[in-house]
Amino acid sequence: MSPRSPSVNEELRRRSRERILRATVELIDTKGYETTTLGDIAERAGTARGLISYYFPGKRQLLQSAVHRLMHLTLAAALEREPRTEDGRERLARAIDAILGLAVERPTLMRTHMAGILQAEGFVRCEEQQRLAFLLRDTVERYGSEDVDTDYPLLRALLMGAVVAVLLPGAPMPWTRLRSELFARYGLDWELGVPPDGGPPGGAPSFGSPAGREGRGGPDQSK
C-alpha cells in the first residue's frame, strides 16, 4: 500500500480534530465539565486519548476551542440563512440573536465556557476563536462602522456581558430584555433577526425609520 499523501493526512487530522470538538460540546452540555473526562471525550469521538493531548494542552483549552467552534458555526449559519442579505443592520441583528440564542439553548455549556474565560488563563486564542472573530468583525464593518478596531471589541464585550447576564445563577436577566437593550444600543428594529413572540418588553421603540435614528443622536449606519 502506498503512503498517504500530505493532503490526505491533513484531511484526516482535520476530521479527527472536529470529532473531538463535537464530542466535547455534546458531553459537557449534558454531563457538565467536572464529570466529563478526556477519556469520555475520546470514546465519544472514536479516537485515542493521546490524540486529544496532541491537539490540545488541557481540558479547559479544549472546551474553549469546542465552544468557539460551535459559536462560529452557529453565527455563520445565522448570517447566511435564507433569505440571504447584505444589509448590515439585519446581519447585526442575526448575530446578536445567534449568540444570545446559544446562552438560552445551551446554558450549561455556555456557563462553563464563560467561567473558564474569567479564570486566570483567560481567553484561548485558537483557530476557532479567530474564525468567530472574523465573522463578528465583518458584521461590524457591514453594519457601517467607521472604526472597526474599536467597535468590534465593544460588540464582543456587550455580547459577552449579555450572555453572562442570561446565565447568572440565581438572578438571570430575561434574554428578551437584553435583546431589546442591545437592539436599542445599535438602533435596530425589534423585527430584525429572529424576533421572539410577544413584541419588545415594555414597548421598546423602533429605530428603523430615519426619525428614530436621529432621535438617538446617531447616523444611519445601514450599509
Cβ-based neighbour number of residue 29 at 10 Å: 19
Helix (H, G, I), strand (E, B) or coil at 76: helix
Write down the pLDDT at residue 201.
Answer: 78
Residue 203 · residue 104 · CB < 8 Å:
no
Write down the pLDDT at residue 5.
Answer: 76
Residue 221 · residue 145 · CB < 8 Å:
yes
Q: What is the pLDDT along the chain (223 residues), one digit of tens a residue?
A: 456 677 766 787 889 999 999 999 999 999 999 999 999 999 999 999 999 999 998 899 999 999 999 999 999 999 999 999 999 999 999 999 999 999 999 999 999 999 888 875 667 778 899 999 999 999 999 999 999 999 999 999 999 999 999 999 899 999 999 999 999 999 999 999 999 987 787 655 444 433 333 333 334 444 3
- Which region, left, alpha or beta, applies to residue 85 given φ > 0 means left and ψ of -120 to 50 means alpha? beta
Write down the pLDDT at residue 118.
Answer: 82
Backbone angles phi, psi at 204, to 5 degrees: -55, 145
Count of residues for the chain?
223
Distance (Å, whole) CA 72 – CA 133: 8
Q: Which residues, including other chains, have CB under 8 Å from residue 106's CB and lie 6 or more apart?
A: 29, 70
The candidate with the shortest Cα–Cα distance to 173, out of 201, 193, 197, is: 201
Maximum CA pair distance of the chain? Answer: 72
Cell, residue 11: 484531511
- N- to C-terminal Cα distance for the chain? 56
- pTM for the full predicted model: 0.85
Cell, residue 188: 435596530
Residue 163 · residue 67 · CB < 8 Å:
no
CA dihedral 190, 192, 196, 200 (to 10 degrees): 0
